[in-house]
Amino acid sequence: MSAGVRHNVSFETNNIVLIALVAIRSIRYSKWRRCCVHGARLRGFLLEKINFLTSQYSSFAKSPFVDKITEQYNYEITKNPTEWKFVERLMPFKTIPQVVPKESYPSGWIPPKEEARKLPYFIPRTKNYAIPIYLQLSFKGNRKITQLKKIEGDIWLMNDDIKHLLKTKHKRYVETRVHEVARFIEIKGDYVNDMKEWAFSKGF
């Protein structure tokens, strides 16, 4: 640790000052102060300590340097291949594992279908096997934009199908914006759940 690093004593100093102030308040307003000749002396001593601490650690330049920190924990290094397999289960994966096919998943996750690639348009999953449909919030949450990303195929046909679906379901016109180069569609409003249900029904 470099010699230029300084110790943060604000938390420790605050605790000392708080205890001292409580003690001064008890000495000042308690009944036994009236009959105790040492009350005034103790109160003056505490006030002197408070002034010393606040003046000593009031700025970065006046704070003390960090001393060498000793090891707080005792440990030993061992090699045990039998027990190492239990440690490996707690370590994060270096790569995302392949999904094990099942009839249903406890989390409610729905895998993509191969038949969906035969459609005129397609939305591939992300590297975490999630559907790339997001809700963008701006202006302190007053503006909501539903965004469909990573679109492949005929993006204009997908836009027409989405507008027809939302207009039929919500009985009103829905504004959209198509970015053909960046391959995404934006919908004005919060329609994330509707779009995810539609994407899962398509097999994306």
pTM of the model: 0.56
CATH of the domain at 118: 3.30.780.10
- Domain presence at residue 82: no
- Domain presence at residue 196: yes
Per-residue pLDDT of the chain (204 residues; tens, 9 = 90+): 444 444 444 445 555 555 655 555 555 555 444 555 555 666 666 666 666 655 555 566 666 676 766 666 777 777 888 888 888 888 888 888 888 888 888 888 888 888 988 999 999 999 888 999 999 999 988 999 999 999 999 999 999 999 999 999 999 999 999 999 999 999 999 999 999 999 999 999
Residue 36: how many CA atoms within 13 Å on its side-chain side?
Answer: 14
Q: How many domains, the chain?
A: 2
Please check whether residue 181 is in contact with residue 149, taking contact to mean a CB–CB distance below 8 angstroms: no
Length of the chain: 204
From CA 186, how far away is CA 149, in angstroms rounded? Answer: 9
Q: Is 140 left (phi over 0), alpha (psi -120 to 50) or beta?
A: left
Final residue of a structural domain among 20, 38, 56:
56
Examine the domain organization and report whether 118 and 46 are in the same domain. Answer: no
From CA 173, how far away is CA 169, in angstroms rounded? Answer: 10
> Residue 152 is part of which domain span?
114-202
DSSP assigned state of 128: T
- Domain presence at residue 103: no
Burial group, residue 4, by CB count within 10 angstroms (0-12, 13-18, 19+) = exposed
Give the tokens for residue 82: 């039998």
- Domain presence at residue 153: yes
The identity of residue 62, as a single letter, is: K
What DSSP letter does each residue of 3-50 carry, written as one string? TT-B---HHHHHHHHHHHHHHHHHHHHSTHHHH-TTHHHHHHHHHHHH
